[in-house]
Amino acid sequence: MKKKILLASLSVVLLLAAFVAWKFFGATLHPPQKKFFYISSGENLSSVRQHLKDSQIIKSFTWFDWAAQGIGLKTIKPGRYQITKSMSLSDLVRMLKNGQQTPVSFVITKLRTREALAGRIGRQFECDSTAFIHYIENADSLQMYGLDSTTVMAAAMPYTYTLNWTSSPAEIFRHFFRAYEKFWTEERKAKASALGMKPTEVATLASIIDEETNAPSDRPYIASVYLNRIAAGMPLQADPTLKYSMRNFGLKRLYSVHTRIPSPYNTYLNKGLPPGPICTPAVETIDAVLNAPKTDYYYFVASPAFDGTHVFTKNYADHIREARIYQAELNKRNIR
């Protein structure tokens, strides 16, 4: 009889131990719908445990509090934490204690304005878009980088950046600039200097070319046209700069009235390059400018085939002829 009681008691103890072990080390968490749990700067342990319960990641405070006490979780590190189905309560508490947050992979593609860049940052990081736009429009912030609010987008290279969710605007931009400095090797700087241009000016010209064409084969020749125009003291007359002036990037057709809009970015009214990039240029386009072929081209117009390529000409008469062919095709297709 005593043996049976002893065995029964042992079974209860073992079951209880198994239950406790499962609570602490079993996959008992409910991952958030978007996989990540965010802890904002300034949050304390009390607010985080409430947030975990409200998000239904944990079912009650009791087991979390015991795990936190046993593992020694006292202070909370803000960040972006990934919670998976296989994680245990012990895994969660240790992750929070060690501040093992999951970084953000921030991808810069083609962006046209500072506001667009700031908006994307505000959606992916703790800092909001207003804080970032204030940083990149602040002369004191940019002075150490040799940039200003018009040239700052040249430093937003089209790469993937790995950053913590809690990164400040200054930290985010510092990552951008490191990539920018790494790209601008001594060889590239020498090529820019041979063109009589600064890296930011090369990026500005490349940004115009990227807005002109999606055809890689045309980029070097468009670069040669604009470089020839700059050397000859001719206005660039680049249509994308008009769209940037108006912030109307979906405009399909430009008219003479658009060329008279007063703006430092209007390259019909102003000779030379605009104050800064009109988009974040592709690396390949920057290199197309630096390695532009020597040509006699001063004009180009979109091909009437609408295949993304262009027709290049050496004199104005030939350009007008090709432009009329293209305009006729626009009318035929009823593009306004």
pLDDT in tens, 146-157: 999 999 999 999
Half-sphere exposure of 102 (CA within 13 A, CB side): 12
Mean pLDDT of the chain: 90
Q: Report the distance separating Cα 22 and Cα 36, nearest Å.
A: 23
Q: Report yes or no: 233 and 271 within 8 Å, Cβ to Cβ.
A: yes
Q: Which of 294, 287, 288, 295 is nearest to 312 (CA)?
A: 295
pLDDT value, residue 306: 86
Confidence class for position 1, pLDDT limits 50, 70, 90 = low
pLDDT in tens, 197-252: 999 999 999 999 999 998 999 999 999 999 999 999 999 999 999 999 998 888 87
Enumerate residues 6+ apart whose C-beta is below 8 A from 101. 77, 79, 80, 81, 164, 165, 166
Q: Is the pLDDT score of 28 beyond 80?
A: no
Q: Report yes or no: 261 and 246 within 8 Å, Cβ to Cβ.
A: yes
pLDDT value, residue 59: 87
Angle at 132 between CA 40 and CA 181, to 5 degrees: 115
Confidence class for position 118, pLDDT limits 50, 70, 90 = very high
pLDDT in tens, 41-97: 999 999 999 999 999 988 888 888 888 898 999 899 999 999 998 888 889 999 999
Kindly report the number of other CB atoms within 10 A of residue 3's CB atom: 7
Q: Report yes or no: 49 and 61 within 8 Å, Cβ to Cβ.
A: yes
- Provide the residue ranges of all domains of the chain, joining segments of one domain with +: 26-98, 104-183, 186-332
> Can you tell me which residue has the tokens 């605009």?
274
The mean pLDDT value for 135-160 works out to 95
pLDDT value, residue 19: 47
Reading the block at residue 194, the tokens are: 């041979």
Q: Is the pLDDT score of 312 beyond 90?
A: yes
Q: Report the distance separating Cα 157 and Cα 179, nearest Å.
A: 7
Confidence class for position 3, pLDDT limits 50, 70, 90 = low
pTM over cut 0.85:
yes
The mean pLDDT value for 114-142 works out to 96
What is the domain class of 26-98 according to CATH?
alpha beta
Q: Report the distance separating Cα 19 and Cα 112, nearest Å.
A: 57
Q: Which of 303, 237, 229, 222 is nearest to 270 (CA)?
A: 237
**Total residue count of the chain as it appears in this document:** 336
